[in-house]
Structure 1
Amino acid sequence: MNAATTTTPALPAPITTLPLRAALHVALTLAGATLVTAIAVRLAVAADARDLLGFGFAGVPADAGTAAGIFATNTRVLGGVLAACVAVQLGRRQPGDGLPGALLSVLVTVCDAAVLLGCALHALYVGAAIGAYGTRTLEVLVAHGPVEIAAFALALGLYVTARRRTVAVRVTVMTALVAVALLALGALLETFA
């Protein structure tokens, strides 16, 4: 046996920058899915969707408790995405580093399914609301929506990146901090703007 056959191949260097390109791809993909849903609902079942959704558009109370509640809800969802990022990074570890490979494969598959299902449901819900109520929904979303989309797209971009490559721990932490800050801003805008 020579040295070339006994060494393990070198892993690519970990990603060391925020996953902005992946976040942009995620945002555009989700925006496209939301738009397709909105058009389909508007053309086919707008009245039924309004009956099902039953939005009143009364707004939310403009107080700190409301902002904190919105922030807490969105942060829990973000936490799920970030936990999935950590889980898929465990799946990138070398054999013998901890959990058995089969268990890691199942964990990654469960994370993929959960993230995909969450994204699909959100795109369907928001798309249905836009299709059902048109500009009334857009008026409600215009202040806080882009900020929240940026936060979740950043976390989902991290997830997509983590599925393909090893991500430096500091990148995961920085992504989480930026996303949480954006969600805090979004909660304030949703409550007070």
Structure 2
Amino acid sequence: MAGISRRYPMLRRSQAMWASRRVWQPRLVFWAGAISIGLISVLFALLADRAQALFHVVTGGDSGSWRFYLPLVMTPAGFVICAWLAHSFFPGSQGSGIPQAIAARHLRDDEDRGHLLSLRLAAGKVALTVIGLACGGSIGREGPTVQVGASLMLQAARWGGVAQARGLILAGSAAGVAAAFNTPLAGIVFAIEEMG
């Protein structure tokens, strides 16, 4: 192998590049973030579907029984609980998620970004959305998936020591859209039109 690399300097440079931490570290961070976004998005979709099914079981679906009136109490009470949880434990989780990801991309200070994108906010966003759906709220999981994706990718960048936070927020948001709608091209278009 040493004789081949002496004859072909391009091969020697390629081997040196792959041995360099500067080359493989950003790629590893990117792939770790992308895989985690995919897994969390699938889990989020399953939880959201189960929460909606639970609401229909509790309220009796379309039957004419007294349970048909449960949403009159259940939905407002669920929203009060969600608002209290958001205010007390997950400040910054309010909103659809897309404006928060866009705003975090434009912030320069990492501490300011942490108020909009963090693992705690991602967990809160998922939990509050699932609770809202279980209570009968007309909530979509697509916007929250964007904020969750951006949070996960930003956290992967922090753990991996990668400095391109703005680009990774963009990639995480696009991956969130792609995972939420199961359309990779929509994630690219979203990243170009909305985030970029």
TM score, norm. by length of structure 2: 0.41
Higher relative contact order (CA 8 A, sep 6+): 1
